[in-house]
Amino acid sequence: MEYKHLILEREGPMAVLTVNRPDALNALNSKVLEELTDAVDGISKDKELRVVILTGAGPKSFIAGADIGEMAGLTPVENRHFAGLGAAILRKMETMDKVWIAAINGYAFGGGLETAMACDIRYMAETAKVGLTEVSLGIMPAFGGTQRLPRLVGAGKARELIYTAARFDAQEALKIGLVQAVLPADKLMAGARELAAKIVANAPLAVAYCKAAIDRGLQEDFDRAQAQEIDAASILFSTEDKREGLTAFVEKRKPTYKGR
């Protein structure tokens, strides 16, 4: 698919995916969601790709949210399709074996913040603002916001932020654990790339198994999740990467991982 509202740039085992609709503050409409579906499917199938940095075009917005102009005319049935499409994209990002880093360069409200929350790690520009603001419009989060925010910041804080439709800054986001780093706007992408490089330096299968274990563990009770962790760790002991990593440590050299 040829993209009108996305830019996908490969940089070896890393890629940068930019939502490119700056005239609308990168708001998510049906066309953007269709393009995201195609892009995320392609990324999921790319065996050489390991880390994706997601950001927004222009200096103002990461993803301002869902396109209110389009949403205003949706029927309940049409909204179910729209919400289901967005939710499916984010869940695929969340559960695939690639690491997603959100580089929140500007406004991330509603569906924009929901998109960032589906990423593994969030870095935020010190000038950016975020929030789940849906209830101020008579609607509610529907891309997973009511589920991910409590898991990230705790139920009480999530309730406060969602019920008040609060818009808050980067320092508050850092304080409550919603983002992992706050950087000057002109250093945000460099910081995200530095993080991506650190992840890429490690064993691909080990990182992917850790991601899967974390995701499963958030859905299950501790004992079951821990048993699954042991199963996954044991499987890794049959891989070439395990042999290379431990041998390189003993030989005091940097390992060369092949993802198998």
- Whether residues 21 and 147 fall in one domain: yes
Whether residue 194 lies inside any domain: the answer is: yes
Kindly state whether residues 162 and 211 are assigned to the same domain: no
Is residue 13 included in any domain, yes or no? yes
* Residues known to be catalytic: 114, 134
224 shares a domain with 177:
no
Instruction: Answer yes or no: are the C-beta atoms of 3 and 34 closer than 8 Å.
Output: no
pTM comes to: 0.95
Domain that holds residue 92: 6-200
Give me the half-sphere count of Cα atoms (radius 13 Å) on the Cβ side of residue 245.
18
- Secondary structure letter of residue 28 according to DSSP: B
Q: What is the pLDDT of residue 1?
A: 83
Average pLDDT over residues 244-256: 90
Quick one: 210 and 90 in the same domain? no
Q: What is the largest CA-CA distance in the chain?
A: 64
Considering the domain architecture, whether residues 161 and 144 belong to the same structural domain is answered as: yes
**Predicted confidence (pLDDT) at residue 259 exceeds the cutoff of 90:** no
Q: Are strands 99-104 and 121-125 parallel, antiparallel or unpaired?
A: parallel
Instruction: Indicate whether 219 pLDDT > 90.
Output: no
Average pLDDT over residues 115-136: 98
Lowest mean pLDDT, pick from 64-78, 89-103, 165-179? 64-78
| Domain boundary residue, one of 200, 220, 242 | 200
Please indicate, yes or no, if residue 258 is contained in any of the structural domains.
no
Contact (Cβ atoms closer than 8 angstroms) between residue 253 and residue 244:
no
pLDDT of residue 253: 87
Q: Based on the fold, state whether residues 152 and 210 are members of the same structural domain.
A: no
Share of the chain above pLDDT 90, in %: 91
What pLDDT shows up at residue 220?
87
Give the tens place of pLDDT for each residue, 33-71.
999 999 999 999 999 999 999 999 999 999 999 999 998
Q: pLDDT band for position 149 (50/70/90)? A: very high
Dihedrals φ, ψ of 249, to 5°?
-65, -45
The overall average pLDDT reported for the chain is 95
Say whether both 230 and 136 belong to one domain: no
